[in-house]
Structure 1
Amino acid sequence: MTDLPPLVLIAGPEQLLAERAAASTIDMLLAGDPGAEVVRIDAATYESGELQLHASPSLFGGTKVLLVRDLDEAREDLVSDVVTVVSGGLDGGTLIVQHKGGVRGKKALDALKKAGARVIDAPALKSDRDKSAFVTNEFRRQGRSVAPDAVRALLEAVGKDLRELASACQQLIDDTTGTVTAEYVERYHGGKVDATGFRVADAAVGGNAPEALRLLRHALASGVDPVPIVAVLASQLRQVARVATAGRGSSAALAKELGMAPWQVDRARRDAQGWDGDRLGRAIQAVAAADFDVKGGGRDPVYAVERAILTIAGERQG
């Protein structure tokens, strides 16, 4: 037996988190009742009355676990059937409902909450801080540790899609031992890291124009668009400005205050050395001009990025 209520609502747009929540809930129920029957119902292929049929007690006894997926995409018949089953109760079974968000299916959501369903959130992880925490936890939950610079390298190399990040983390867990370092990430994803705007921005903000231009050309040749490169330049300069004016304090405390990851605070503090307010302001203005040009305001997006990089590196050098 488990202490799970008979109704569970998994709400939020992040599908990987929702799938994991559903899987772990089902595992807990099966651990308490290995003979329970699991029935998965998809909104796209639903037929009216199907849910009531599965929710009815079996002639042969036993309990059922009913998983309704994508209620937010459901037609009215499934929404009504969920309300009916919730109102009538389940005879020893459990109903798990997944809903990505929006107003569709609201009657069923209200019925579930009113009936005391356990709500499990699957929120979208948008900020770098949230993504960093996700990567760190992927290693921690399997008894491994990961260095902060390795977290950053993974985000740069793999991108911010949670499913791809989880897959990359699992590969490193399976293929390495001990603490996962940036060198491990470089070994598996080095080419991708070199082709990101983060490396370009690091070099430019550090005042190394030749290296920034070399990395820019490599990124462009690898298919990276100028627009996200300019976005990373802008983001990195803004982080330097925010951290430079935030005062003293631990990286963790400042990260929480500024909505950043601790490694971003550490990097911004390093980058802030050698900058002053006037030169930083001119560099930010140059990136703003490049942003306008690469989004259609100029004739040559590549030239616009190169000009911004040269300006940033020049201001850093004074």
Structure 2
Amino acid sequence: MPRATAPRTAPTRPVAATAADPHDVPAAPVVLLTGPEDHLADIALSSLLARLRAQDAQLERTDVAAAGYLAGQLATWASPSLFDERSVVVVDGAEAAGDAFVGDVTAYLADPSPSTVLVVRHRGGNRARKVLETARAVPGAVEVACQPLKRDQDKIEFVLGSMRRARRRMDADAARALVDALGNELGELAAACDQLCADTEGTITAEDVRRYHGGRVEATGFDVADAAVEGHAGRALALLRHASATGVVPVLVVAALASRLRTLAKVGAERGRSADLARDLGMAPWQVDRARRDLQHWSAEALGEAIRAVAQADAAVKGAGPDGDFALERAVVTVATARGR
């Protein structure tokens, strides 16, 4: 008689994290922001924080850089408080994390605190992949894909979606003209949408876009950023004042500065061939090569100082400071003088 065999059973598959729209991120025990597109990650984090603060105005937030994590810190940040208040722990740069972070997070995720939301920002690569795999198996986990938008049509949909959320109408031709003018950076596209909403009325047309962005952004905002990143403080200030005199709004110059610095930070955190890096980061190979040349003159500390200065200028030109123009000039000087230190 043939030997009886036990019936085969399918292997148990881990629970997959729920995919979420960056503009509508639900509260969850763990939220993963994965991929190199920082603007989508910023949108997702803002969406999540708004939801959490609507539930608890006293929400406690802790921001963590994974690269500097020390063993045991997560247990302190995520431990329940005396009155079980809600808290959120936001970990940036998990792709640069060490073994202490990976060990503590994977242990924590086996039994996450019900009063804590853990947000993990991972831009890509193989480091700390165990954290992502473990987090995705947590019941109720949420993952937001923060991947670059490479097709023009996707960028056009991004622009039109931004306008719908702002309750403004925009012609499809206007959206295409804006994408043609500003290119790849979603942060710039979003800033341009904000500016057009603030400075126009009614339906936004291609003529409105040409009036504000007809060749001036590349010729001025990015020239300012290039001069500053290359260490030419005097030239960068002269270009900035020329840009202001010809009608370029400060928020677009800030966006150009932020774009250049983000590129340096992204490329500096990775290793490999330019072509492979360009594909992974959603850039052109020449952008990677230029960033690597620039990085020969930039230390991590100087880059951090420059990024903080531009973030402060960004807040000031959007109304959080008394003098946005002065804040922008100071940021340009800070960026230019940080090079080489």
1:168 aligns with 192
2:8 aligns with none
SS in 2 for 1:126: coil
Which digits, 9 at most, give the CA deviation of each residue in 1:206-262, with x for residues without a partner? xxxxxxxxxxxxxxxxxxxxxxxxxxxxxxxxxxxxxxxxxxxxxxxxxxxxxxxxx
Q: Hey, what's the Cα distance between the residues in 2 that align with 1:80 and 1:170?
A: 42
Q: Hey, what's the Cα distance between the residues in 1 that align with 2:81 and 2:168?
A: 45
- Give the alignment of 1:150-169 within 5 angstroms: 150-169=174-193
Is contact 1:186-1:193 (8 Å) kept? no
Which digits, 9 at most, give the CA deviation of each residue in 1:135-165, with x for residues without a partner? 1111111111111221122122222211111
Q: Hey, what's the Cα distance between the residues in 2 that align with 1:148 and 1:115?
A: 41
Distance 1:194 1:152, change over 3 A: farther
SS in 2 for 1:88: coil
Q: Hey, what's the Cα distance between the residues in 2 that align with 1:184 and 1:39?
A: 42
Among candidates 33, 44, 62, match of residue 85 of structure 2: 62
Q: Hey, what's the Cα distance between the residues in 2 that align with 1:188 and 1:38?
A: 38
Is contact 2:95-2:125 (8 Å) kept? yes
Confirm or deny that 1:86 pairs with 2:109: yes
1:41 aligns with 64
In the TM superposition, residue 59 of structure 1 has moved relative to its aligned partner by 3.7
Confirm or deny that 1:179 pairs with 2:198: no
Which digits, 9 at most, give the CA deviation of each residue in 1:163-185, with x for residues without a partner? 11111111001111111111111
Among candidates 9, 14, 32, match of residue 32 of structure 2: 9
Confirm or deny that 1:72 pairs with 2:95: yes
1:19 aligns with 42
Q: Hey, what's the Cα distance between the residues in 1 that align with 2:32 and 2:54?
A: 20
Q: Hey, what's the Cα distance between the residues in 1 that align with 2:212 and 2:28?
A: 44
Confirm or deny that 1:132 pairs with 2:156: yes
Q: Hey, what's the Cα distance between the residues in 1 that align with 2:42 and 2:66?
A: 15
Q: Hey, what's the Cα distance between the residues in 1 that align with 2:26 and 2:147?
A: 24
Is contact 2:28-2:142 (8 Å) kept? yes
Which digits, 9 at most, give the CA deviation of each residue in 1:271-312, with x for residues without a partner? xxxxxxxxxxxxxxxxxxxxxxxxxxxxxxxxxxxxxxxxxx
1:267 aligns with none
- Compute the TM-score of the two structures, normalised by the length of structure 1: 0.57
In the TM superposition, residue 60 of structure 1 has moved relative to its aligned partner by 5.3
Is contact 1:48-1:78 (8 Å) kept? yes
Which residue type is aligned with residue 74 of structure 2? L
Distance 1:11 1:194, change over 3 A: closer
SS in 2 for 1:167: helix
1:142 aligns with 166
- Compute the TM-score of the two structures, normalised by the length of structure 2: 0.53
Which residue type is aligned with residue 74 of structure 1? A
Confirm or deny that 1:191 pairs with 2:226: no
Distance 1:127 1:68, change over 3 A: same
Q: Hey, what's the Cα distance between the residues in 2 that align with 1:149 and 1:174?
A: 19
Q: Identity of aligned pairs, percent? A: 41
Which residue type is aligned with residue 173 of structure 1? C
1:99 aligns with 122
| Unaligned residue ranges in structure 2 (runs of 5+) | 1-24, 220-341
SS in 2 for 1:115: coil
Is contact 1:13-1:100 (8 Å) kept? yes
SS in 1 for 2:201: coil
In the TM superposition, residue 193 of structure 1 has moved relative to its aligned partner by 8.3
Is contact 2:84-2:115 (8 Å) kept? no
Is contact 2:67-2:94 (8 Å) kept? no
SS in 1 for 2:62: strand
Is contact 1:158-1:192 (8 Å) kept? no
In the TM superposition, residue 189 of structure 1 has moved relative to its aligned partner by 1.4
Q: Hey, what's the Cα distance between the residues in 2 that align with 1:17 and 1:54?
A: 26
Q: Hey, what's the Cα distance between the residues in 2 that align with 1:193 and 1:89?
A: 46
Q: Hey, what's the Cα distance between the residues in 1 that align with 2:129 and 2:36?
A: 15
Q: Which has the larger radius of gyration?
A: 1
1:113 aligns with 136
In the TM superposition, residue 125 of structure 1 has moved relative to its aligned partner by 0.6
Which residue type is aligned with residue 122 of structure 1? C
Distance 1:190 1:91, change over 3 A: closer
Q: Hey, what's the Cα distance between the residues in 1 that align with 2:199 and 2:67?
A: 38
